[in-house]
Amino acid sequence: LVAYNRPRIQQPIATVAEYNNMPQHSVRAAIVALVRNSDLFGLRLAIRQIEDRFNRKFQYPYIFLNDVPFTEEFKQGVQALTKAEVQFGQLDDESWGIPSWIDLDKYEQVKQTAQYPHGNKDSYRKMCRFQAGYLHRHPLLQYLEYYWRIEPDVEYYCDIEYDPFLFMKQRGIKYGWNIAMTEFMDTIKTLWNTTSQFINKNPHLVADRNMLEWLVDRDSGYGGCHFWSNFEIVDLSFYQSQAYQQYFDYLDKAGGFFYERWGDAPIHSLAAAMFLDASEIHYFNDIGYFHPSVLSCPKGASKQGTCVCDDTRSFVQDGHCTVRYKQVRKKVLEPGEPYGVHD
């Protein structure tokens, strides 16, 4: 009953001053998702777990965005699960659209012949472009320092007894990830070519201790490993930097969001690998997490501690993208620089 009767904060949190006035937060951060009205049940499932495992203690606000207005049913269904503030926002036409330079006939041909998942869909491509280039620029995120991305139907299996935002802030970490895997290569045929052109034009933007070797092989190019962006905890100054913006604009002009089906995950990963110092990337391998159909469960977690996941099914923690990440990181950093909570 209390959940339904408690007063709602009417003023949206929108300014630095308002965030700073929330004494329980030493970090201006939020849990964020782009979602559809039809995702209500899956999102409720995710929020229930985030609340139980983490946010009940920390009370970070949620921000949900949609290309169409949220229904009252959606808003109420979400708000009933949390005492934290929830904000709902809508996208503008530029951030959810097809740019003027896209050749629509060529794009139509692509949609009719594409063989990969979601190959015939406008909405999936717009979603990827939005998450790659616009999410971090949405007005509701303007004053945030960090976001934690969630999605419908994701699951969280472990009590999170510390504040990952604060953990990152105290250590200067800009990108936190949980699952690394390979991409459908047909969706990103020219992504690496375009990216390497960008690097050739802007060599000064590449960090000295970068992680490109994790992704790119001298002979065969980009191998497709990427951080799965349905989980990412990010210092937004990274995406809001000029370097990232220049990179996104370069990719957007090349048209691969539409002529292919470039995902925001490989783009975020290439950007992190190029622009960040390896020590600014963190593997949250202590957070048991599932996105249909991939589980990441800490070793030993099925029989002890507060996680409830089956570590024998957690192949991704030993997957080749994860293993290679650790190898490259070890090479790039000094001995003793940590690469995960448990490493």
- List, by residue number, the catalytic residues: 232
Question: Of 148, 131, 146, which is closest to residue 95 (Cα–Cα)?
Answer: 131
Which partner in Mn ion, ligand GDP, none is near 296 (CB below 5 to 8 A by kind)?
A: none
| Residue 151 binds Mn ion (CB under 5 A) | yes
Under the binding rule (CB under 6 A), the answer on residue 45 touching ligand GDP is no
- Would you say 153 or 277 has its CB closer to Mn ion? 153
Question: How many chain residues are in contact with Mn ion, going by CB under 5 A?
Answer: 2
Q: Of these, 85, 145, 151, 252, which contacts ligand GDP (CB under 6 A)?
A: 151
At 319, is the secondary structure helix, strand, or coil?
coil
Which is nearer to Mn ion, 114 or 294 (by Cβ)? 294
- How many chain residues are in contact with ligand GDP, going by CB under 6 A? 12
* 71 is a contact residue toward ligand GDP (CB under 6 A): no
Is residue 95 classed exposed, middle or buried when 0-12, 13-18 and 19+ CB atoms within 10 A define those classes?
Answer: middle
CB nearer to ligand GDP: give 151 or 235: 151
Region binding Mn ion by CB under 5 A among candidate stretches 159-167, 205-213, 228-236, 319-327: 228-236
Q: Is 183 in the site for ligand GDP (CB under 6 A)?
A: no
- Pick the closest to residue 183 from 107, 274, 289, 269 (CA basis): 269
Interface with ligand GDP, residue 34, by CB under 6 A: yes
Q: Residue 237 in contact with residue 146, Cβ under 8 Å? A: no
Q: How far is the CB of 161 from ligand GDP (least distance, A)?
A: 27
Question: What are phi and psi for residue 181, nearest 5 degrees?
Answer: -155, -175
The token pair that represents 339 in the structure block: 């690469």
Considering only 29, 32, 35, 332, the residue that binds ligand GDP (CB under 6 A) is 35
Whether 277 contacts 141, CB under 8 Å? no
Least distance to ligand GDP, CB of residue 141, Å: 15
Q: For ligand GDP, give the closer residue by CB, 138 or 329.
A: 138
What 3-state DSSP class applies to 310? coil
Nearer to Mn ion, 151 or 163 (CB): 151
Long-range contact pairs involving 294-301 (C-beta distance under 8 Å, separation at least 24): 294/179, 294/181, 294/228, 296/178, 296/179, 297/157, 298/158, 298/342, 299/342, 301/157, 301/158
Q: Are 244 and 238 in contact (CB under 8 A)?
A: yes
Q: Can you tell me which residue has the tokens 């899956």?
A: 42
The span of 31-39, 40-48, 102-110, 151-159 binding Mn ion (CB under 5 A) equals 151-159
Contact string (CB under 6 A) for ligand GDP, positions 112-131, x = contact: -----------x---x----
Alpha helices, DSSP H, located in 232-297: 236-239, 242-254, 256-259, 264-275
Q: Is 229 an interacting residue with respect to ligand GDP (CB under 6 A)?
A: no
Q: Does 179 bind ligand GDP (CB under 6 A)?
A: no
> Looking at 133, 152, 176, 266, which residue binds ligand GDP (CB under 6 A)?
152
The rounded Cα 102 to chain-centroid distance in angstroms is 26
Residues forming the site for ligand GDP (CB under 6 A): 33-36, 39, 66-67, 123, 127, 151-152, 230
